[in-house]
Each structure stands twice: as C-alpha cells, then as structure tokens.
C-alpha cells in the first residue's frame, strides 16, 4: 500500500511539474498557427485612370463644347479594362483670371456605358448646356472647366487641365427651315431671328452657317417610324456661309438623303459666335424632272432596199441634258396623235432609219428624250411626210 501511494504521489508531482511546460508549448503553437494561416481574400484595388491633359473648350450656342481624349491607361501603366466614367466640373475665375478652386462643382456625369456614344474622331465631345438667362443677363460670363474620370466611386483620376471660356449672348435659334427641291438645287429658307436667346433685341447684322450631313436612307426611315436617332454616312460639315436667310444647295445627288442644320452667326469682339442648331430637316431629292423635248426634227424620204420600197430618214439636234439616257421615236397616221412607239430600246444617237413605211401613206413622226431616272420629255414638234411614188 505504501508503494502504491508513493507511486501516485510521484506521478501527481511529475504532472504538476510538466503542466506549465505544456501550457507554454500550447501557447506558442496557438499563436504560431494563427500568424501562419491565410486570411480572407482581399479584392484588388480598382485602377485609377491617368489625368486628362488635352481638355479644350469653346462656346457653342447657349453652351460650351468640351473635347478631350479619354485615358486608356491607369496611373500604374496598365490598360483600363473599359472606358471610365466622366465627370464634368465647372467653376468660376477669380478677379485675376485664375480659377477659384472652391467654385468647382460636378455639373454632369457620363456613365461608363454611355461614354463611347460621345466619341467623334477619337476625341470625346460633350456640350455643357447653359441657361440663356445666365450669359444673356450680362455682356459676358467666364467659366472654368475641368474633367476627371473614374472606374469606381471611391477613386477618381486627378483633375484635368483648366480651360477658361468667356460666354456671350447668341441669337435665338432658327425654329423652322423650309425646303424645296428643284431640278438644279435643294432650296432652303428660314425666318431671320430678331432677338438673342435671352430675349434681348439684336442690333448687329447676322450671317448664317449652313451645315449638311449625308444620312443613311434606311436609318432615315427607321428614325421617322420609331423616332430614333439618325445614322450619318458622313459627319455634319459646314457647307456654306449665307448673308441672307436662304441658300441653294447645288452640290447634291438625286436619291441620296441629306440632313441640314442652320446656325445664325453674330460677331462679338471680332469673333463669330453661332446660335444653337436650327430645326433639323432631312431631304431625299427624287428626280421627277423630265428632260427638254428634242428640237430640230427633220424627216427625209429615201428609196428602200428593194425596188418600189421606201425608207424615212430622221435626224434631230442632240440634247444637252447632262443625265440623258436616250431617245424614243413615235409614228402615227393621224395628226395630233402620238401613235406607235417604233424604238423598243432607247436610241443613243439623234437619228433613226424607218424602213417600214408604205407608199400611199402619210406619217407623223415625233421624238422624245428620256433621262437616267426614266423621266420622259414631252413630245417634240411632230413632222409629217407623204410616202408617194416619185414623178417620172
């Protein structure tokens, strides 16, 4: 019994001596395991686009047209996965002409998904529309613009360069543009505005800028049916400057579709300032204009290829129509009747040889001209001929 008690006491004593050592080892293993275990995955930081450095701005009607190149890379040099969203900042200038840093406010934001719709010839263009009562209430107003981009809400690029724009009152935009298609021109006319967009009376003389773009005909039809945007086949370009409230566009082609925009122009401090766009008008000119009737028809009776037969030889003056396709010849045995078409195909030359005449008949010949659109002229002056045996 004494040996067993001694053994139990010895074991208890050894256990008591080992407990602090085991506790210390467990403590070390616990913290070592905690430090070495991987934590929750950390998402990568969104890229920050490089700052825009080529911002340009100018007044356009009652607004300011901003243009710049969208950044393609981040500040770390990596390619941006998609176009960034764009923020437009507008501020005012101090008395010394420098921008007031505290005046800048975000006046518009273009989401990433819509950015590419503003890109023209690799540059983004955006119009900051201003109230006419703002610039119109004083001789001029000065604004300062900056832009910045972002790929996330929390991190934006640095601000772009600052651009100062002095904004002046411009003429009221033209409300209605009337069009008329003639054979040689598309005629445009409009009423001259008498006031600025803010309602002040205009005293300076006006000129007008006529802009034109070629429009896809299918897009034109879809735009009318669905009230959707037009697809341009060419960009809107300045076609001409007019000193009067009308213009004739002679550089057009039948069958093509055109969009026209008119802007009034006033000179302020030696600089031409345009109004906002007029009503947009589209025109698809159709060639419904027949050529002029052929002139100078002459008919001669000649002997035929066989004895006792005859032939009528026709000739007339060549037509000067630029879109002439050919001629048609008609014959009738009754006066004032167009009669039978003798030429199944269009004649390319102003002459015809009729071998189907018969002796003892009187024939009236008429010639018409046809253009490439299929328009046929009115008949020329008819000429009669009697087919009779020659006198002995």
273-319 pLDDT, tens digit per residue, is 999 999 889 999 999 999 999 999 999 999 988 888 999 999 999 99
**pLDDT surpasses 60 at 137:** no
- Distance linking the first and last C-alpha atoms of the chain: 179
Query: Predicted confidence band at 23 (pLDDT cuts at 50, 70, 90)?
Result: low
- The answer, yes or no, to whether residue 268 has pLDDT greater than 70, is yes
Stretch among 55-64, 126-135, 151-160, 222-231 having the lowest mean pLDDT: 222-231
Label residue 22 by pLDDT band (50, 70, 90).
very low
Residue with tokens 């989401």, as numbered in its chain: 111
Comparing C-alpha atoms, which of 359, 355, 375, 250 is closest to residue 313? 355
Task: Give the pLDDT score at 13.
Answer: 47
Residue, of 42 and 272, whose pLDDT is higher: 272
216-224 mean pLDDT = 65
Whether the CB-CB separation of 173 and 196 falls below 8 Å is answered with no
> Is 248 or 31 the better-scoring residue by pLDDT?
248
* Residue 26 reports pLDDT greater than 50: no
pLDDT of residue 190: 97
Average pLDDT of the residues in 322-332: 96
Q: If DSSP codes are grouped into helix, strand and coil, which group holds residue 390?
A: coil
Residue 138: which of 208, 196, 206 has the closest Cα?
196
Predicted pLDDT of residue 29: 45
Report how far residue 282's alpha carbon sits from residue 275's, in angstroms, rounded to the nearest whole number.
Answer: 20
Q: Rounded to the nearest 5°, which phi and psi values hold at 367?
A: -120, 140
pLDDT in the model for residue 180: 97
The Cα-based distances of 363 to 74, 331, 369, 376 in angstroms read: 87, 6, 20, 22
Beta bridge partner(s), residue 183: none
Q: What is the mean pLDDT of residues 37-57?
A: 80
Which of the four pLDDT bands, split at 50, 70 and 90, describes residue 142? confident
Q: Which of 31-45, 195-209, 333-347 is predicted with the least confidence, judged by mean pLDDT?
A: 31-45
| Residue 41, pLDDT above cutoff 70 | no
Q: Which has more confidence, 365 or 166?
A: 365
What does the block give as tokens for 360?
A: 């003892």
pLDDT grade, residue 102 (50/70/90)? confident
User: In the predicted model, is pLDDT for residue 17 greater than 50?
Assistant: yes
Binning pLDDT at 50, 70 and 90, where does residue 203 land? confident
Q: What is the pLDDT of residue 227?
A: 47
- 36 has a pLDDT exceeding 80: no
Got the DSSP string for 211-252? Answer: EEEEE-HHHHHHHHHH--PPPBSS--EEEEEESSSEEEE-S-
- The pLDDT confidence band at residue 271, using thresholds 50, 70 and 90, is confident
Count Cβ atoms within 10 A of the Cβ of residue 67 and give its class: 0-12 exposed, 13-18 middle, 19 or more buried. middle
- Average pLDDT score over residue span 47-56: 96
Q: What is the mean pLDDT of residues 42-60?
A: 88
């Amino acid at each position: 019994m004494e040996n067993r008690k001694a053994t139990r006491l010895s074991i208890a004593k050894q256990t008591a001596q080992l407990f602090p050592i085991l506790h210390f080892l467990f403590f070390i293993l616990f913290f070592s395991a905690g430090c070495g275990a991987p934590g929750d995955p950390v998402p990568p930081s969104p890229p920050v686009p490089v700052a825009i450095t080529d911002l340009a701005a100018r007044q356009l009607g009652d607004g300011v047209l901003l243009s710049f190149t969208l950044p393609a890379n981040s500040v770390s040099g990596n390619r941006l996965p998609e176009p960034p969203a764009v923020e437009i900042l507008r501020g005012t200038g101090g008395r010394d002409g420098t921008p007031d840093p505290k005046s800048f406010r975000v006046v518009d934001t273009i989401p990433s998904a819509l950015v590419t719709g503003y890109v023209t010839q690799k540059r983004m263009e955006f119009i900051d529309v201003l109230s006419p009562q703002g610039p119109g209430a004083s001789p001029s107003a000065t604004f300062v613009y900056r832009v910045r981009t972002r790929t996330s809400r929390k991190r934006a690029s640095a601000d772009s360069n600052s651009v100062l724009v002095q904004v002046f009152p411009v003429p009221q935009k033209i409300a209605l543009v009337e069009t008329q298609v003639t054979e040689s021109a598309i005629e445009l006319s409009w009423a001259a505005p008498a006031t600025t967009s803010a309602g002040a009376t205009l005293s300076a003389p006006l000129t007008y800028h006529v802009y034109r773009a070629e429009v896809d005909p299918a897009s034109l039809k879809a735009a009318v049916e669905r009230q959707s945007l037009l697809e341009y086949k060419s960009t809107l370009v300045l076609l001409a400057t007019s000193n009067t409230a009308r213009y004739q566009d002679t550089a057009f082609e039948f069958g093509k579709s055109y969009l026209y925009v008119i802007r009034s122009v006033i000179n302020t401090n030696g600089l031409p300032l345009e109004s906002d766009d007029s009503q947009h008008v589209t025109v698809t000119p159709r060639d419904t204009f027949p050529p002029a009737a052929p002139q100078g028809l002459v008919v001669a009776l000649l002997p035929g290829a066989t004895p006792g037969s005859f032939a009528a030889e026709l000739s007339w003056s060549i037509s000067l129509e630029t879109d002439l396709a050919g001629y048609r010849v008609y014959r009738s045995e009754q006066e004032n009747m167009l009669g039978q078409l003798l030429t199944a195909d269009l004649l390319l030359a102003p002459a015809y040889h009729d071998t189907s005449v018969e002796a003892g008949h009187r024939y009236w010949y008429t010639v018409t001209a046809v253009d490439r659109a299929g328009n046929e002229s009115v008949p020329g002056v008819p000429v009669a001929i009697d087919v009779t045996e020659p006198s002995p």
